[in-house]
Structure 1
Amino acid sequence: MTDAAPKVAKPHHAGHRERLRERARGGGLTHLPDYELLELFLFRSQPQGDVKPVAKALLARFGSLSAVLAASVEDLMTVRAEDSKGRMKGVGAETALDLTALHEVSRRVVREPAARRPVISSWTALVSYVRVALQHEPREQFRVLYLDKKNQLQHDEILNRGTVDHAPVYPREVVRRALEVSASAIILVHNHPSGDPTPSRADIQMTKQIVEAARSLGVEVHDHLIVGREGVSSFRQLGLM
């Protein structure tokens, strides 16, 4: 009599994908922790193997789910983790593209309420939009929201990208572009990669210059918003304009 073939132990993650999908299909999406939501997306770009270590490594590297989605393709591809078999697994180009595409979907979804109604009457939607767009940007980015006569969002344009603490802005360029797109009003927006949205002296001075240049040509500056991980500051609410 020959000995029975030894049983091969199944990896601990065997069946995990289907179990997780079953929980999601059963209405449990809202109860899933962030790393399991990430796993659901990673299943598509990494059809085999254990992706839980990669999902957890992404959250550890960037600090939050929103920061993972806002990360650049290049930064995402630096993340690596050890799988259940002791092999190093990383975020490839396809996975990184999937995650950045999801961020773009999120940005467009939150933009819709701000674009459909007058910005002044949908301020909460506007703040949500600029936070998704800018709160995790690693370098300063200066944007201008151009509004029509009904104060509806007409264009959202990046006028400049800068360093970790400075994005040069030229008031004439801001106003010139407003005239080109026939905007009646504008909202200035930029981010502070440090996380603190408190306006600096340079921010206040630059805003005054843009307000004066715009006023001389009949363009109103409604506000200047500074976005940080800690929140959004409004110059108008702070009494700075």
Structure 2
Amino acid sequence: MMINLREKILAYGVSTLKNEELLAVIIGNGTRKNRVSDLAQKIICNSNGLNLSLEQLMAFNGIGVAQACKVLAAIELGTRKVQSDTLSETVVSVDDVGRHLINKIGGAPQEKLVAVYLNNSYHIIDEKIIFIGTVDQATVHPRDILREAIRMSATQIVIAHNHPNGSLMFSRNDQEFSLRLKKCCHLIGINLIDHLIITKKTFSSLKSLNLI
């Protein structure tokens, strides 16, 4: 099994492997009673998107401490890779930003407020995680966002934060904060393009709802 998977990677690339095959490569070996392919399939089918603790992994017959640690390390590495990805410096739309942030913060267990900074031509200058925690006027101030905009001479901003509970609804705090930020942006000549709510699978736009 492992030889076949390695040959498949060498011949066609690692991206051609299914999730259970990738997991089988990480686990390495099965047991007399459980082939590594069956073990990997069982873990994939009985986990919520591989959201498993060390103890939960070791509860599967055939997974010891070493294998569980390798699986967790691989998952964490993948998570960090996604979080380190940034938008390209080409022209982007709000939809581009939304899809990018689904991967970056959609699955985060805490709310994260992200600001994406653009120039007049809608080219990305940079993106920053501004705050981790509940977004409201008591915890986040527009200056936290605008300080970075001024530093990098950005003329446009898209802000976004994730809802770990999966809701796409904007709270009253979200709306009030956005309107306050928009006024502050206007005073210094910066355009607040939109405020997005990000979940694991999709996003919603405050502007499209005519709330900003």
Same fold (TM over 0.5): yes
Aligned residue for 2:209?
A: 238
Aligned residue for 1:4?
A: none
Aligned residue for 1:5?
A: none
Instruction: Tell me the distance in 2 between the aligned counterparts of 1:104 and 1:239.
Output: 35
Aligned residue for 2:58?
A: 81
Q: Give the drift of 1:116.
A: 2.9
Aligned residue for 1:105?
A: 81
Q: Does 1:129 align with 2:100?
A: yes
List runs of 5+ in structure 2 lacking aligned partners. none
Taking only aligned residues, the RMSD between alpha carbons, in angstroms, comes to: 3.0
The answer on whether the counterparts of 1:118 and 1:153 sit within 8 Å (CA) in structure 2 is: yes
List runs of 5+ in structure 1 lacking aligned partners. 1-15
| Deviation string, structure 1 residues 196-226 (Cα, Å, up to 9, x no partner) | 1221111111110100111111111011111
| Partner of residue 6 from structure 2, selected from 2, 12, 21 | 21
Letter in 2 for 1:171: P
Instruction: Tell me the distance in 2 between the aligned counterparts of 1:17 and 1:156.
Output: 41
Instruction: Tell me the distance in 2 between the aligned counterparts of 1:24 and 1:179.
Output: 47
Aligned residue for 1:150?
A: 121
Aligned residue for 1:139?
A: 110
Structure 1 residues 77 and 178: alpha-carbon distance in aligned structure 2, compared to 1, 3 A threshold: farther
Instruction: Tell me the distance in 1 between the aligned counterparts of 2:122 and 2:189.
Output: 14
Q: Give the drift of 1:24.
A: 5.1
Structure with bigger gyration radius? 1
TM-score where L is the length of structure 1: 0.70
Moved more, 176-185 or 18-27: 18-27
The answer on whether the counterparts of 2:117 and 2:157 sit within 8 Å (CA) in structure 1 is: yes
Structure 1 residues 220 and 37: alpha-carbon distance in aligned structure 2, compared to 1, 3 A threshold: same
The structure, 1 or 2, with the larger RCO (C-alpha pairs under 8 Å, 6+ apart) is 2
Aligned residue for 1:38?
A: 23
Letter in 2 for 1:17: M
Count of residue pairs the alignment pairs up: 203
TM-score where L is the length of structure 2: 0.78
Q: Does 1:96 align with 2:69?
A: no
The answer on whether the counterparts of 2:23 and 2:40 sit within 8 Å (CA) in structure 1 is: no
Structure 1 residues 59 and 219: alpha-carbon distance in aligned structure 2, compared to 1, 3 A threshold: farther
Letter in 2 for 1:103: T
> What is the aligned-residue identity percentage?
21
Structure 1 residues 217 and 56: alpha-carbon distance in aligned structure 2, compared to 1, 3 A threshold: farther
Instruction: Tell me the distance in 2 between the aligned counterparts of 1:28 and 1:176.
Output: 44
Letter in 2 for 1:105: K
